[in-house]
Amino acid sequence: MISKKQLSFLKSLQIKKYRQLHQCFLVEGAKSVLELLDSDFILENLFVTQDFYQNHTPLLQNLDYQLVSEDELMQAGSFESNNACIAVASTKANVFLQAADKETVLVADAIKDPGNFGTILRIADWYGIQKIIGSEDCVDFYNPKVIAASMGSFTRVQIFYSSLPAYFLEVKPENLFGAVLEGENLHHISFPQQLYLVMGSESQGISHEITRLLTQKITIPRFGKAESLNVANATAIICDNLRRSQI
Amino acid sequence: MISKKQLSFLKSLQIKKYRQLHQCFLVEGAKSVLELLDSDFILENLFVTQDFYQNHTPLLQNLDYQLVSEDELMQAGSFESNNACIAVASTKANVFLQAADKETVLVADAIKDPGNFGTILRIADWYGIQKIIGSEDCVDFYNPKVIAASMGSFTRVQIFYSSLPAYFLEVKPENLFGAVLEGENLHHISFPQQLYLVMGSESQGISHEITRLLTQKITIPRFGKAESLNVANATAIICDNLRRSQI
């Protein structure tokens, strides 16, 4: 059973203000919760169905959990259906990150759509990128839709939110690459080993202030007539080219 | 004003059975409708707000349209908000397609999610791929969410639905490439000029029956730890590699 008080707590975590207040976030569904339990995030609460319990009894042996119904999970969470589990975990502190030697760092400039941002985390994780810098107006990493779309990759990437101009003033990146409409053909670019790659918002692209700072503007070559690509697809294509070129 | 009869007709077009019965489909929002009006699709009805009318008066001069309110558009369509327009257009006949000389054709094997499939149409259009073969259990091209996610690219790609085994028996493709988990590294593959590229379903990948027929199995190299990539992202990455290699 989920108590009324717990239900109201869980529902509050769909809102950024309450996630910040409680320093907690929601993780929903079997895949994401299993990745959470295998990570260094601190688990606060765990609600599981009988079904999930039966499939993962050894894993749950040393954990506090509550048995709940599917209906309760659907009421408490953001998923349309969830026959497995919901976890609450502690958010991490917003700790300064920068590129180590030979490291690629992804920079999200005002990415607003949680589905896109979660997918970008998954792409970063696929391509072995572990650090993300988010602008202050970028969607919250701990938004339940970001967590869900990342398919567990939220456990393997670190996020640091910052004013991007202030951040770049501090780290003074030697290689600041960004995806723009009128840049150099991606297929002709050699990517250095240490790199910041900026991806801009769905509607506006990279902000003017940051565009001015780019050391290399890159453009995905177009062979047909679509006006643009979705920002997650663009990130995937650029990361693939980057890893191919860095080897 | 949208009449009751019209409203029930428009709402019915959210369901495949009624799209097939009426041989019509919905196009929603300014971007998609403008692309529709610039295409060879036959327009059946057009509902526009005062706002859209004012911004596009010359374009509407020779067209039949009805002025409606935003509320009516939201009631009639599938969008959460729509301050512009909804069009009804005729679906096209399911006409046999095959790869011309030096042409790349995309094959969608049981892609189920309309957002993914619409995004794949947009990617195909970006990379100049104009023909898509869909398996019989692939999501309907005319699903309003497919149309919306394609961002107008539905007007520039053609679709042919078929049983894939029967289709391949007929066209006997020389180069049948497909994305699988244990294939050759995408970065090491030379893509021929004439090519069928198969992308499989989100959960199952390419069906066994089709996997057997592939002349080249390809895998996107992974540098990190994510288990998989979204099928639209995978399509984007492979199409980018394909165009780079075909030049």
Tell me if residue A210 falls in helix, strand or coil: helix
Note whether B33 and B83 are within 8 A (CB).
Answer: no
Predicted pLDDT of residue B246 = 85
Are B224 and A119 within 8 A, CB to CB?
no
Each residue's pLDDT expressed in tens, for chain B with a length of 247 residues: 899 999 999 999 999 999 999 999 999 999 999 999 999 999 999 999 999 999 999 999 999 999 999 999 999 999 999 999 999 999 999 999 999 999 999 999 999 999 999 999 999 999 999 999 999 999 999 999 999 999 999 999 999 999 999 999 999 999 999 999 999 999 999 999 999 999 999 888 999 999 999 999 999 999 999 999 999 999 999 999 999 998 6
Q: CB distance B223–A151 less than 8 Å?
A: no
User: What pLDDT does A102 receive?
Assistant: 95
Residue positions counted in chain A: 247
- Per-residue pLDDT reduced to its tens digit, A126-145: 999 999 999 999 999 999 99
- Provide the 8-state DSSP code for A192: P
What tokens appear for B118 in the block?
């619409």
CB-CB neighbors (< 8 A) of B106 in chain A: none
Q: Where are the beta strands (DSSP E) in chain A?
A: 24-28, 43-48, 66-67, 85-90, 104-109, 131-135, 158-162, 176-185, 195-200, 216-219
Q: In sequence order, which residues have a C-beta less than 8 Å from that of residue A208 and are 6 or more positions away? A: none
Q: What is the pLDDT of residues A79-129, one digit of tens each?
A: 999 999 999 999 999 999 999 999 999 999 999 999 999 999 999 999 999
**Which letter does DSSP use for residue B149 in this model?**
H
* Residue B134 contacts residue B161 (beta carbons within 8 Å): yes
Question: Which residues of A fall within a CB distance of 8 Å from B30?
Answer: none
CB neighbours (10 Å) of residue B71? Answer: 11
The answer to whether B224 contacts A151, with C-beta atoms less than 8 Å apart, is no
Chain A residues with CB-CB distance to B236 below 8 A: 229, 233-234, 236-237
Which residues of chain A make contact with B225, given a CB cutoff of 8 A?
125-126, 128, 153, 156
Which residues of chain A make contact with B226, given a CB cutoff of 8 A? 122-123, 125-126, 151-153, 156
Q: Tell me the shortest Cα–Cα distance from A66 to chain B, in angstroms.
A: 28
Best A129, A237, A239, A245 residue to mutate vs chain B (most B CBs within 10 Å): A237
pLDDT of residue A203: 86
B interface with A, Cβ–Cβ < 8 A, is: 119, 122-130, 151-153, 156, 186-187, 220-230, 232-234, 236-237, 240-241, 243-244
Mean pLDDT score, A190-214? 95
The pair of structure tokens assigned to B52 is 């859209």
Q: What is the complex's ipTM, to 2 decimals?
A: 0.95
How do strand B85-90 and strand B43-48 relate by DSSP bridges?
antiparallel
- B226 Cβ neighbours under 8 A, 6+ residues apart: A122, A123, A125, A126, A151, A152, A153, A156
Q: What is the mean pLDDT of chain A?
A: 96
DSSP B187: G
Give B221's contacts in chain A (Cβ within 8 Å).
243
What is the DSSP-derived secondary structure letter of residue A205? B
Residue B123 sits at the vertex; the CA angle it makes with B23 and B27, to the nearest 5 degrees, is 30
Say which of B122, B187, B224 has its CB closest to residue A226. Answer: B122
Q: Return the bridge partners of B161, or none.
A: B134
The pTM assigned to this predicted structure is: 0.96
Mutate to test the interface with B, among A40, A223, A245 (most CBs of B within 10 A): A223
What does the block give as tokens for B239? 């199409």
pLDDT reported for residue B247? 66
User: What is the three-class DSSP state of A199?
Assistant: strand
Residue A68 half-sphere exposure, CB side, CA atoms within 13 Å?
A: 25
Spatial separation of the C-alpha atoms in residues A117 and A112, rounded to whole Å: 7
Q: Do A240 and B244 touch (CB under 8 A)?
A: no
Compare CB distances from B126 to A122, A124, A224 and report the shortest one's residue. Answer: A224
Alpha-carbon span B210 to B110, nearest angstrom: 11
Q: How many contiguous H segments (helices) and E segments (strands) does chain B have? A: 11, 10
Asked if residues B134 and B159 have their Cβ atoms less than 8 Å apart, the reply is yes
Terminal C-alpha separation, chain A: 53
pLDDT of residue B202: 82
